């Protein structure tokens, strides 16, 4: 009599336990549901290929090896999907250029952190105002700012300059936009 394996039970439990330890290897490109679905596909492939097995242990050993190979392929594909970011130069307040080369995972805040640290003093002042001021003051400052690149002539930039003690002819909102768009 031959053994007919079922996915729910020990095989599914093995996959869940394997994912607890190893999901980090594929989490950039796969969800947990996707990985479980891949495990089901491997299970069905093994079940179709090895129909004449007599013990559950024999099938489990074959499934473990097939699943390990498939999971390694998924992890290798995840690693290959990581993008190299070209070198970027940033100019600090003193005019010195810094070469920044980012590798690997670009879904982090590293580049933004570097830009914030090297931002001109006016940009830093405006960002600190935006992050720390009460909502009413921000509404007042930006009340005439109609949207991106559509400010009124008496716009929010003059109000922000007045709040920060900067010269009123300085367009600080434009400085912030240009700094982060360049």
User: pLDDT band for position 148 (50/70/90)?
Assistant: very low
pLDDT for the residue numbered 107: 58
What pLDDT score was predicted for residue 151? 46
165 plus 126 within the same structural domain: yes
Written as one string, the DSSP assignment of 85-139 is PPPEEEE-TTS-EEEE---S--SSSHHHHHHHHT--HHHHHHHHHHHHS-HHHHH
pLDDT in tens, 61-70: 999 999 999 9
Same domain, 139 and 171: yes
Instruction: Give residue 149's pLDDT.
Output: 43
Whether 133 and 162 map to the same domain: the answer is yes
pLDDT per position as a tens digit, 153-166: 546 677 778 878 88
Q: Residues with Cβ < 8 Å from 27, sequence gap 6 or more?
A: 78
Last residue of a domain, one of 44, 60, 80: 80
Query: Confidence band (pLDDT; 50, 70, 90) for 1?
Result: confident
Residue 1, in any domain of the structure:
no
Stretch 103-131: mean pLDDT, rounded?
77
Whether residue 69 sits in one domain with residue 98: no
Q: What's the rounded Cα separation, in Å, for the pair 26 and 133?
A: 41
Quick one: pLDDT at residue 143?
Answer: 61
Asked whether residue 140 carries a pLDDT value surpassing 70, the answer given is no
* Neighbouring C-beta atoms of residue 122, cutoff 10 Å: 19
Residue 135 has pLDDT above 80, yes or no: no
Q: Looking at residues 67-76, what average pLDDT do you find?
A: 96
Is 93 found in the same domain as 67?
no
* Number of domains into which the chain is organized: 2
Q: Is residue 131 part of a domain?
A: yes
Where a domain ends, among 20, 49, 80? 80
Instruction: Provide the residue range defining the domain that includes 98.
Output: 88-181
pTM (global) more than 0.85:
no
Share of the chain above pLDDT 90, in %: 38
Token duo for residue 131: 């992050």
Indicate whether 104 and 49 sit together in one domain: no
Same domain, 58 and 94: no
Domain membership flag for residue 3? no
Q: Indicate whether 49 belongs to any domain.
A: yes
Final residue in a domain of this structure, among 80, 102, 123 = 80
């Amino acid at each position: 009599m031959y053994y007919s394996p079922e996915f729910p039970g020990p095989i599914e439990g093995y996959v869940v336990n394997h994912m607890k330890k190893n999901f980090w290897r594929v989490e950039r490109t796969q969800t947990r549901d996707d990985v479980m679905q891949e495990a089901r596909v491997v299970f069905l492939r093994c079940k179709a290929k090895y129909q004449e097995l007599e013990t559950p242990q024999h099938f489990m050993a074959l499934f473990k090896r097939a699943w390990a190979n498939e999971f390694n392929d998924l992890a290798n594909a995840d690693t290959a999907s990581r993008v190299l970011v070209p070198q970027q130069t940033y100019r600090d307040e003193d005019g010195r250029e810094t070469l920044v080369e980012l590798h690997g995972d670009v879904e982090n805040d590293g580049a933004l952190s570097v830009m914030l640290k090297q931002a001109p003093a006016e940009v830093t002042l405006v960002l600190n105002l935006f992050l720390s001021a009460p909502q009413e003051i921000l509404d007042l400052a930006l009340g005439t700012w109609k949207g991106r690149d559509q400010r009124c002539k008496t716009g929010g930039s003059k109000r922000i300059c007045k709040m920060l003690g900067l010269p009123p002819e300085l367009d600080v909102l434009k400085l912030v936009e240009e700094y982060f768009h360049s």
